[in-house]
């Protein structure tokens, strides 16, 4: 039966609608980029919360100094005729370092000794006559006084002669030589610098608010810029009783023990003083801590998720920090890769 002509447009319109419905329903669903990224596990490194010793520390920088050091000066005038040591040599206390021309001083000794012998003879004759009451007591006293005065003069001349040889006052290393052979040396001119490496010290200037935390005998460690990776042990040996009113700092001296003599005076480094310690503290690596929005937190591993956990911290050292609240012994915290994490992010733990 023929279709009425008026019905054709209606059928065509219905087919068009049906066509678009079929095409729309057959298109595959598209996932958003956020859903795709959420399904990707982020690789992270973790560390376990451990129990240990938490230490409270004060740190400051300082240059090392030799505790025993002496500038050797000349005590008499003369031309330096002989150098007996050089820089870098080790010398003992009293060891000769150099000699000055001593000809004049020897002549002075001879003249003094001659005068002493003459006055000694006069004194002995006068004493004999005094015992026989042939001279007065004043004459006897004058002869005795002259002889004793000349004896002192002779001793001084001999002492001056010994000063022509310059000696080291302490045992140590010749760190500097200020004179050369042929130089005219006068009294109090510096000639050598002797430095003992037996004991080194670092002088710190700590804020006055730290006064109650520092006491003599506290352990300390030293790390030198010139010797990375090496740690030197020491202790607080001196504590100034006053605070510098201009700087508001307290002078603290730390003595460093270095049997190997690796550390040298003048080296610069950081000194750390331990003023308190807590046993059985919960410790985590400092790398695990995240500071954001005035909150200290870490990411804790739970199965395949990273959970953000606020924490309260305590003492810390160069590598680890104490956790007072927010974690338990055995928890695993993320120490690498947490920069791109959010709470409940999927993770994959890697070695």
Do 87 and 108 reside in the same domain of the chain?
Answer: yes
Q: Do 63 and 46 fall within a single domain?
A: no
* Domain CATH number, residue 269: 2.40.30.170
- 176 & 240 share domain: no
First to last CA, the chain: 81
Specify if 297 maps to a domain: yes
Instruction: Work out the pLDDT band at 39, boundaries 50, 70, 90.
Output: low
Question: For the domain that residue 319 is a member of, what is the CATH number?
Answer: 2.40.420.20
Burial track 10-21 (b if 16+ CB lie within 10 A, e otherwise)? eeeeeeeeeeee
Q: Tell me how many domains the chain contains.
A: 3
Is position 204 within any domain?
A: yes
Output the DSSP codes for 231-270.
Answer: -EEEEEEEEEEEEETTTTEEEEEEEEE-TT--S-TT-EEE
Answer yes or no: do 237 and 284 share one domain: no
Burial of 36 (0-12, 13-18, 19+ CB in 10 A): exposed
Q: How many CB atoms lie within 10 A of CB 335?
A: 18
pLDDT at 190: 97
Summarize pLDDT for 175-233 with one digit per residue, the tens.
999 999 999 999 999 999 999 988 899 999 999 998 889 999 999 999 999 999 899 99
- Distance CA(113)–CA(120), nearest Å, equals 10
Contact call for residues 300 and 314 (beta carbons, < 8 A): no
Same domain, 144 and 201: no
Cα 264 → chain centroid: 11
Measured CA angle at 142 (ends 140, 146), to 5 deg: 120
Instruction: Kindly state whether residue 4 falls inside one of the protein's structural domains.
Output: no
Same domain, 175 and 210: no
Which contacts (CB < 8 Å, 24+ apart) does range 239-242 have?
Answer: 239/214, 239/215
Strands (DSSP E) found in 42-171: 42-48, 50-73, 78-83, 90-91, 96-100, 165-167
What does the pLDDT read at residue 152? 97
Q: pLDDT (tens digit, 9 = 90+) per residue, 274-321?
A: 888 889 999 999 999 998 888 899 999 998 899 999 999 998 887 899
Q: Are residues 285 and 258 in the same domain?
A: no
| Inside any domain, residue 293 | yes
The range of the structural domain enclosing residue 321 comes to 42-55+279-349
């Amino acid at each position: 039966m023929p279709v009425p002509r008026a019905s054709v447009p209606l059928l065509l319109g219905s087919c068009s609608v049906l066509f678009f419905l079929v095409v729309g329903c057959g298109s595959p669903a598209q996932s958003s980029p956020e859903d795709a990224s959420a399904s990707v596990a982020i690789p992270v490194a973790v560390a376990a919360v451990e129990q240990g010793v938490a230490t409270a520390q004060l740190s400051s920088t300082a240059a090392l100094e030799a505790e025993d050091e002496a500038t050797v000066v000349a005590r008499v005038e003369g031309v330096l005729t002989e150098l007996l040591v050089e820089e870098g040599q080790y010398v003992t206390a009293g060891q000769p370092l150099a000699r000055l021309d001593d000809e004049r001083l020897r002549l002075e000794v001879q003249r003094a000794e001659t005068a002493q012998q003459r006055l000694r003879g006069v004194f002995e004759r006068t004493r004999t006559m005094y015992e026989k009451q042939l001279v007065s007591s004043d004459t006897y006293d004058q002869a005795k006084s002259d002889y004793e005065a000349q004896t002192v003069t002779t001793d001084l001349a001999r002492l001056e002669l010994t000063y022509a040889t310059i000696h080291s006052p302490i045992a140590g290393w010749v760190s500097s030589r200020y004179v050369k052979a042929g130089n005219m040396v006068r009294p109090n001119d510096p000639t050598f610098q002797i430095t003992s490496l037996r004991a080194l010290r670092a002088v710190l200037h700590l804020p006055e608010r730290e006064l109650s935390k520092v006491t003599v005998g506290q352990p300390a460690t030293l790390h030198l810029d010139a010797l990375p990776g090496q740690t030197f042990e020491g202790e607080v040996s001196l504590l100034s009783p006053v605070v510098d009113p201009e700087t508001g700092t307290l002078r603290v001296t730390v003595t460093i023990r270095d049997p190997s003599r690796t550390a040298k005076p003048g080296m610069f480094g950081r000194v750390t003083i331990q003023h308190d310690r807590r046993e059985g503290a919960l410790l985590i690596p400092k790398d695990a801590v995240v500071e954001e929005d005035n909150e200290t937190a870490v990411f804790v591993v739970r199965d395949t998720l990273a959970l953000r956990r606020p924490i309260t911290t305590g003492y810390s050292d160069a590598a680890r920090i104490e956790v007072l609240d927010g974690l338990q012994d055995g928890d695993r915290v993320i120490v690498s890769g947490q920069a791109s994490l959010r709470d409940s992010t999927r993770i994959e733990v890697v070695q």
